[in-house]
Structure formats: structure tokens, C-alpha cells
Amino acid sequence: MAPSTIGAIGVLALFTMLFFRVPVWIALTLVGFIGNSIMSGVTPTFALAGTVPFDVGSAYTLSVLPLFILMGEVASVTGLSSDLFKAARVILAGARGGLAVGAIAASACFGAVCGSSVATAATMTRIALPEMRAAGYHPSLAAGSLAAGGSIGILVPPSIILVIYAAIAEQSVPRLFAACLIPGLLLTAFYMTVAVLFANLRKDYAPMSKGVSLRERVSAMKGPWQFLAVFLVTIGGIYAGIFSPTEAGSIGAFSAILLGVAARRLTLAGLLRSIENTVAVCGMLFVIVFGANLFSFFIVQTQLPVLLANGAQELHLSGLMVMVMIIIAYILFGCFLEAIGMLLITIPVFLPLVKQFGYDPVWFGIVFVIVVEVGLIHPPMGLNLFVIQAHAPDMKLTSIYGGIVPFLFAPLLLIVLMFLFPQLALWLPRVLYGAG
């Protein structure tokens, strides 16, 4: 049997297992183990399976993952998100849709210390949704802005998914963190624009709020200074080349703890809960990385990406057409695959193909994250939509679906812009770190 056929059967087996509820890490490991055994024999496969967990589990570069997750957990417990929303609400008071725009801005800022979309959506929903409802906002606009705002969490640095992408695609974390900044800011601006348009086209969806004085607005800006401090120290430190990502993660986590304790918002119980949550989350992440390594090695041996590339060339498909097909595939996968699982399953197959067509892996990482964001918010399975409904059980799912549709145009527009102007992602890494 041809290696590429074995590869295709392996991918099919993987999806079958996933469909039948086999945990992602087990499906990756079993397909990787059996596939490698067929391709190169049982003894070398055992050698690989013996060293992969040790190499991954002791990788200094991966220590950034628990440290940034801890920083996000502590930020959630200490109510940083609440400060951000309060400030945004006052600054935008008096504007139609101001609360929706404020929720998006606060989500983007909170994402910049949290790194997770679902956590951002959950936290901001808890804080902003009651206020939006009290102000008479329609559930569709409230849910749409919160789901969309929450999804920004993985596109602004420090994005947890980009750290995992860096490990799998063998890319530099600082470069990826630099690459995602401009697209992250652009997407935030796009979402805000959609919220303003939405609120102004459907005036009954967003009643006007009372305006405040300029002095009050300026004073509100001082509220979330802790956010600025943590962000500047961690991400600023990485951009300036002062800290490595692991060092920035340590400093960020410690600063978040220190600020929480100083403001008397972090109790010992809260700190322990944050640490234990970090352990539990990483416990499931690292086993997936074990499995993904075995799977990736198998895919490389089968030369499946080469077969796909040759197939595309025989069909006279241009690089752009291949990329469009990959993006459509990701949007479809997003209906049933969770973001990290999707990354670890597909990157070994798609990345070599993407590189072969001359696209930059850093640029592709950012496009991938934007597509994942679409998956997080598009009906019927967008995870952020369920997060919002879990916090507002009385809100109809149809209202939430209706509210998110206008926001879906924003990431799709950004993907188009990324193709037209790749420098949106590649300019800042080049300025900060030189040509890759």
C-alpha cells in the first residue's frame, strides 16, 4: 500500500474515532502509534513513544503555556475584567450602542492578559450582560457583541493557541505574538464598527444612555491601570526583547498575583483555585501535544502533504485557491472540532502544503487563529454562543444566533485583508526581530 494511502486511512480513522467520542489525545496517539508502526516498524515507534512525552514534558519553551494560563486565571479571579468594562462603559457613555462597544473593547483588553477566548467570553458575559439587559439592550445585540468580543481573546497576545501553534509548527513565539497585534486591533475595530452600525440601524435594540462629562471620562481611564501594567510588562517586555516568553509569563503571572493581593481582591483560596485550574487545563493540553507529536511524525512519513500539493498542482490550482479551500475546510471543521484539537490535527497536514505554495508560516498561524475565531462564533456550534447561553439560560438560542450573524462579517473581512495585505501580520515581526 502506498504511504499516502496509509496516511489517508489514518486521517479517516482519526476522524472516525473523534466522531465516536474518543478523546482527542487518544485518537491522535493511537493513529500516530499504529501508523508509525506500519511505516517504520514497532521498535522505532516504541522508541519514539518513549521519548516524546519526556521531551515535551521537559521542554523549557513549553513552560510559557502554564505561566500565561496562570496569569489569565488570576486575572479572572481578581476582577480585572470588571474594571475594564466599567472604564469602557463610562468612556463610551452617551453613544448609541456604547455598552456593546464597551463590552468588545473590554473583552479585547481582557483577552490581552487572559489569552483564552472562552474564558474571556464567560468572564465578560458575567459582568456585562446584566448591565446591558438592565439598560434595555436587545438580547441579540448583547449576545452578539459578547460572543464576538470574547473571540478576540485568542488573537491578541499572549494567545495560548499561538503558543501551541508555535510548538507544533516550530515557529518563534515572540514573532507570532508580534504578528497577531495588528490583526487583533483591526478585528476589535471591525467588531466595534459592526456594533455601532447594528445599534444605529436597529435603534430599538440599543437605547441611548446618559452622557457623562469629559472629566469623568478621563478619570475612568485610570481605572484599569493594572491591566496596562501587566500588559506592558509582559507583552511589552517580549516585544522589546527584554524577556523571553517564559520569563514574560512568569513576570505576568507574578504581577497579576501581586496586584490582586495589593488590591485585596485575591484571597489564598482564590489563588489556589487559579493554580489548580491551571494544572488541570495543562494536564489535558500536554497529553494532546504528546499525541500530536506522534501523529505529526506519522503524517510526515506518509508524505500526505506532498500528495495533496501534487494533487493541487495537477488540478492546476493556484496557491490562493488552495488557501481558500483550506479556510473553507477549517470553517467546516469549526462546526464540530474544538480549536486546539483542530490545530493539532490539521497543522501537520496543511502547514507543509501552505509552505509549498510560498505562504509564510507566521502569517498562516494568524490566518488560522482568525478562522478559529469564526468557528468559535458561527452557528450552530460556536462555543462562545453556548458560553453566553450557559450564563443566560432564559435567552433563546435563536436570539443569540440572530445577533452573531452581522459580527461574522468582521473576521471574514479581516481574512480577505490578510490575503491582500500580508504585511498586516508580517510587518511588526520584521521590524522587531528582522527578516525571519
Partner 1 sequence: MNRSRTYSLVDRLRVVQLRLASVALVTMMLVTLVDVFMRYAFNSPIRGAYELVEAMMLVFVFNGMSTAFLQRRNIVIDLVDSILHRTIVVALIRLSDVLTVATITLFAYAMIKPALQSYSYGEVKMELQVPIWWFWAVALVGIAGAILCAAGALIAPPPKPRHDKEPV
- Residue 381 beta carbon to partner 1: minimum distance, rounded to whole angstroms: 8
Q: What angle do CA 60, 247, 426 make, to 5 degrees?
A: 90
Binding site for partner 1 (CB under 8 A): 18-26, 29-30, 33, 46-47, 49-51, 53-54, 56-60, 62-63, 66-67, 70, 243, 246-247, 249-251, 253-254, 272, 275-276, 278-280, 282-284, 286-288, 290, 336-338, 340-341, 386, 389-390, 393
- Residue 123 beta carbon to partner 1: minimum distance, rounded to whole angstroms: 17
103 vs 337, beta carbon nearer partner 1: 337
**Cα–Cα distance between 178 and 436 in angstroms, integer?**
13
**Cα–Cα distance between 356 and 430 in angstroms, integer?**
21
- Residue 45 beta carbon to partner 1: minimum distance, rounded to whole angstroms: 8
Contact call for residues 62 and 289 (beta carbons, < 8 A): yes
**Cα–Cα distance between 179 and 156 in angstroms, integer?**
9
198 vs 290, beta carbon nearer partner 1: 290
143 vs 253, beta carbon nearer partner 1: 253
Would you say the C-alpha torsion 106, 115, 165, 148 has a positive or negative sign? negative
- Residue 412 beta carbon to partner 1: minimum distance, rounded to whole angstroms: 24
- Residue 17 beta carbon to partner 1: minimum distance, rounded to whole angstroms: 9
| Block residue for cell numbers 525571519 | 436
95 vs 256, beta carbon nearer partner 1: 256
Contact call for residues 122 and 74 (beta carbons, < 8 A): no
- Residue 256 beta carbon to partner 1: minimum distance, rounded to whole angstroms: 11
At 354, phi and psi to the nearest 5?
-60, -45
- Residue 375 beta carbon to partner 1: minimum distance, rounded to whole angstroms: 13
131 vs 247, beta carbon nearer partner 1: 247
279 vs 431, beta carbon nearer partner 1: 279
- Residue 414 beta carbon to partner 1: minimum distance, rounded to whole angstroms: 27
Residue 375: CB partners within 8 Å, gap ≥ 6? 330, 331, 333, 334, 335, 337, 339, 342, 381, 382
DSSP-derived secondary structure for 185-219:
HHHHHHHHHHHHHHHHHSGGGS-------HHHHHH
* DSSP H or E run through 267: none
Residue closest to 209 by CA, chosen among 98, 103, 83:
98
Q: Where are the beta strands (DSSP E) in 13-100?
A: none
357 vs 386, beta carbon nearer partner 1: 386
**Cα–Cα distance between 371 and 376 in angstroms, integer?**
9
50 vs 136, beta carbon nearer partner 1: 50
